[in-house]
A and B are shown apart, each in its own frame.
Chain A
Amino acid sequence: MARVVGSRLARPDGPGKVAGTTRYVADLHFAGEWVGGTVRANVARGLLEAIERDAAFDFTRVVVVGPQDVPGANVIEMLTLDQPALASREIEHFGEPLLLVAAPDEATLQAALAALRPRITPLEPVFDPRASTKVFKEIRIEKGDVESALAGATRTFEGEYESASQEQLYIEPQGVIALPPDENGVVTVHGSLQCPYYVQKTLVRALGLPAEKVRVVQEATGGGFGGKEDYPSILATHAALLARKAGRPVRMIYDRHEDLAFTPKRHPSRVRIRSGVDGEGRLLALDIDVLFDGGAYTTLSPVVLSRGCIHAAGPYRCEHVRIHGRAVATNHVPYGAFRGFGAPQTCFAIERHMDHIAAELGLHPFELRRRNALRLGDRTATGQLLKESVGAQAVLERIAQRTHIDTHPWRAPKTTRKRRGLGMSFFFHGAGFTGAGETMLHARIALELDAEGRALVRSASTEFGQGTETLFKAIAAEALGCEPDDVLVAQPDTHAVPNSGPTVASRTCMIVGGVLARAGRELAARIGGNGPFRERARAFVRSGGDSRVEATYQTPAGLEWDDKAYRGDAYPAYGWAADVAEVEVDLDTFDVRVVRFWSAVDCGTAIQPQLVVGQFEGGSLQAVGFAQLEVVTTRDGRFQQDRMATCIIPTALDAPDFTTDLVEVPFSGGPFGAKGVGEMPMDGGAPAVLAAIEDALGLHVTRIPATPEHLLELWLAAHPEERL
Chain B
Amino acid sequence: MTPEVTVARSLDEALAALARDGAAAHVLAGGTDLMVELRTGRTRPERVVDVWKVGELRGVREENEGLRLGALSTCAELLRDSRVASHAPLLVAACREVGAEQIQARATLGGNLGTASPAADLNPALVALGARVRLRSRRGAREVAVDEFLCGYRKTLRERDELIESVLVPTRPAHERQLWRKVGTRRAQSISKLTVAVALAFEGACVSAVRAAAGSVGPRTLRLATLERELVGRPLSPALCRSAAAACARADITPIDDVRSTALYRRHAFARVLATLLAEPDGVPACPPS
State the A residues within 8 Å of B (CB).
Answer: 257, 417, 587-591, 593, 629, 633, 640-641, 643, 645-646, 648, 650-654, 708-709, 712-713, 716, 722-724
Max chain A C-beta neighbours (<10 A), residue from B185, B250, B261: B185
List chain B residues, Cβ under 8 A from A417: 276
A724/B268 in contact, CB under 8 A: yes
Assembled-state Cα–Cα distance A633/B261 (Å): 12
A709/B191 in contact, CB under 8 A: no
Given contacts A645-B36, A709-B262, contact A651 B269 (CB under 8 A): no
Assembled-state Cα–Cα distance A650/B265 (Å): 21
Which listed residue (A643, A653, A709) contacts B265, Cβ 8 A? A709
B190 within 8 A of A: yes
B138 within 8 A of A: no
B100/A640 in contact, CB under 8 A: no
Which listed residue (B39, B185, B186, B273) contacts A588, Cβ 8 A? B273
B261/A651 in contact, CB under 8 A: no
B261/A645 in contact, CB under 8 A: no
Among residues of A, the one whose C-beta sits closest to the C-beta of B2 is: A107
* A258: min CB distance to chain B, Å: 12
B267/A724 in contact, CB under 8 A: yes
| Residues 88-100 of chain B, each 1 if its beta carbon lies under 8 Å from chain A, else 0 | 0000000000001
List chain A residues, Cβ under 8 A from B100: 651
Given contacts A640-B259, A646-B259, A724-B249, contact A651 B189 (CB under 8 A): yes
B259/A654 in contact, CB under 8 A: no
Given contacts A724-B249, A724-B250, contact A712 B188 (CB under 8 A): no
| Residues 242-275 of chain B, each 1 if its beta carbon lies under 8 Å from chain A, else 0 | 0000100110000000011110110111011101
Assembled-state Cα–Cα distance A643/B41 (Å): 13
A641/B269 in contact, CB under 8 A: no
List chain B residues, Cβ under 8 A from A593: 187
A654/B187 in contact, CB under 8 A: yes
Which residues from 28 to 77 on chain B have a C-beta closer than 8 Å to any C-beta of chain A?
36, 39-40
7 sample A-B contacts, Cβ–Cβ < 8 Å, listed by A number = A640-B259, A646-B259, A648-B190, A652-B188, A653-B188, A709-B265, A724-B271
* B268: min CB distance to chain A, Å: 6
List chain B residues, Cβ under 8 A from A645: 36, 191
B183 within 8 A of A: yes
B187/A653 in contact, CB under 8 A: yes
B22 within 8 A of A: no
B185/A648 in contact, CB under 8 A: yes
Number of A-B contacts defined by CB within 8 Å: 66
Assembled-state Cα–Cα distance A646/B40 (Å): 12
6 closest Cβ pairs, A-B complex: A588-B272, A653-B187, A709-B265, A653-B188, A648-B185, A651-B188
List chain B residues, Cβ under 8 A from A648: 185-186, 190
List chain B residues, Cβ under 8 A from A646: 259-260
Given contacts A417-B276, A643-B40, A712-B264, contact A588 B188 (CB under 8 A): no
Among residues of A, the one whose C-beta sits closest to the C-beta of B190 is: A648
List chain A residues, Cβ under 8 A from B250: 724
List chain A residues, Cβ under 8 A from B262: 709
* A639: min CB distance to chain B, Å: 11
Assembled-state Cα–Cα distance A588/B274 (Å): 9
List chain A residues, Cβ under 8 A from B187: 593, 651, 653-654
Assembled-state Cα–Cα distance A713/B265 (Å): 8
List chain A residues, Cβ under 8 A from B269: 588-590, 708, 712
Assembled-state Cα–Cα distance A722/B242 (Å): 11
Assembled-state Cα–Cα distance A633/B260 (Å): 11
B272/A587 in contact, CB under 8 A: yes
8 additional A-B residue pairs with CB within 8 Å, beyond A587-B272, A653-B186: A589-B273, A593-B187, A629-B185, A629-B186, A646-B260, A653-B188, A653-B289, A712-B269
Which listed residue (B39, B183, B191, B246) contacts A724, Cβ 8 A? B246
List chain B residues, Cβ under 8 A from A724: 246, 249-250, 267-268, 271
A588/B276 in contact, CB under 8 A: yes
Among residues of A, the one whose C-beta sits closest to the C-beta of B100 is: A651
* A591: min CB distance to chain B, Å: 7
B268/A712 in contact, CB under 8 A: yes
Assembled-state Cα–Cα distance A723/B269 (Å): 11
Assembled-state Cα–Cα distance A583/B276 (Å): 21
* B281: min CB distance to chain A, Å: 14
Assembled-state Cα–Cα distance A589/B276 (Å): 11
B267/A651 in contact, CB under 8 A: no
| Residues 102-124 of chain B, each 1 if its beta carbon lies under 8 Å from chain A, else 0 | 00000000000000000000000
Max chain A C-beta neighbours (<10 A), residue from B186, B190, B191, B249: B186
* B223: min CB distance to chain A, Å: 20
Assembled-state Cα–Cα distance A571/B265 (Å): 45
* A328: min CB distance to chain B, Å: 27
Assembled-state Cα–Cα distance A640/B260 (Å): 10
Among residues of B, the one whose C-beta sits closest to the C-beta of A709 is: B265
B264/A713 in contact, CB under 8 A: yes
B265/A712 in contact, CB under 8 A: yes
Assembled-state Cα–Cα distance A336/B34 (Å): 34
List chain B residues, Cβ under 8 A from A641: 259
Which listed residue (B40, B188, B259, B265) contacts A708, Cβ 8 A? B265
Assembled-state Cα–Cα distance A591/B186 (Å): 8
Max chain B C-beta neighbours (<10 A), residue from A712, A713, A723: A712
List chain A residues, Cβ under 8 A from B264: 709, 712-713
* B129: min CB distance to chain A, Å: 24
List chain A residues, Cβ under 8 A from B190: 648
Which listed residue (B36, B39, B267, B272) contacts A589, Cβ 8 A? B272
Assembled-state Cα–Cα distance A78/B272 (Å): 51
Max chain B C-beta neighbours (<10 A), residue from A651, A716, A723: A651
| Residues 271-286 of chain B, each 1 if its beta carbon lies under 8 Å from chain A, else 0 | 1110110000000000
* A646: min CB distance to chain B, Å: 5
List chain B residues, Cβ under 8 A from A629: 185-186
Assembled-state Cα–Cα distance A432/B122 (Å): 52
Assembled-state Cα–Cα distance A629/B187 (Å): 11
Among residues of A, the one whose C-beta sits closest to the C-beta of B277 is: A588
Among residues of A, the one whose C-beta sits closest to the C-beta of B194 is: A589
Assembled-state Cα–Cα distance A601/B21 (Å): 69
Which listed residue (A643, A654, A713, A716) contacts B186, Cβ 8 A? A654
| Residues 169-197 of chain B, each 1 if its beta carbon lies under 8 Å from chain A, else 0 | 00000000000000101111111000000
List chain B residues, Cβ under 8 A from A633: 259
List chain A residues, Cβ under 8 A from B191: 645
List chain B residues, Cβ under 8 A from A712: 264-265, 268-269
B183/A589 in contact, CB under 8 A: yes
List chain A residues, Cβ under 8 A from B275: 588
Assembled-state Cα–Cα distance A650/B188 (Å): 9
List chain B residues, Cβ under 8 A from A588: 269, 272-273, 275-276
Assembled-state Cα–Cα distance A645/B246 (Å): 31
* A678: min CB distance to chain B, Å: 26
Which residues from 163 to 222 on chain B have a C-beta closer than 8 Å to any C-beta of chain A?
183, 185-191
B186/A650 in contact, CB under 8 A: yes
Among residues of B, the one whose C-beta sits closest to the C-beta of A591 is: B183
Among residues of B, the one whose C-beta sits closest to the C-beta of A641 is: B259
Among residues of A, the one whose C-beta sits closest to the C-beta of B289 is: A653
Among residues of A, the one whose C-beta sits closest to the C-beta of B261 is: A709
List chain A residues, Cβ under 8 A from B246: 724
List chain A residues, Cβ under 8 A from B36: 643, 645
List chain B residues, Cβ under 8 A from A640: 259
Assembled-state Cα–Cα distance A629/B260 (Å): 11
Max chain B C-beta neighbours (<10 A), residue from A257, A629, A654, A716: A654
Assembled-state Cα–Cα distance A593/B186 (Å): 9
Assembled-state Cα–Cα distance A709/B246 (Å): 18
Among residues of B, the one whose C-beta sits closest to the C-beta of A590 is: B269
Assembled-state Cα–Cα distance A270/B1 (Å): 45
Max chain A C-beta neighbours (<10 A), residue from B36, B260, B269, B273: B269
List chain B residues, Cβ under 8 A from A590: 269
* B196: min CB distance to chain A, Å: 11
List chain B residues, Cβ under 8 A from A257: 39-40
Assembled-state Cα–Cα distance A530/B234 (Å): 91
List chain A residues, Cβ under 8 A from B289: 653
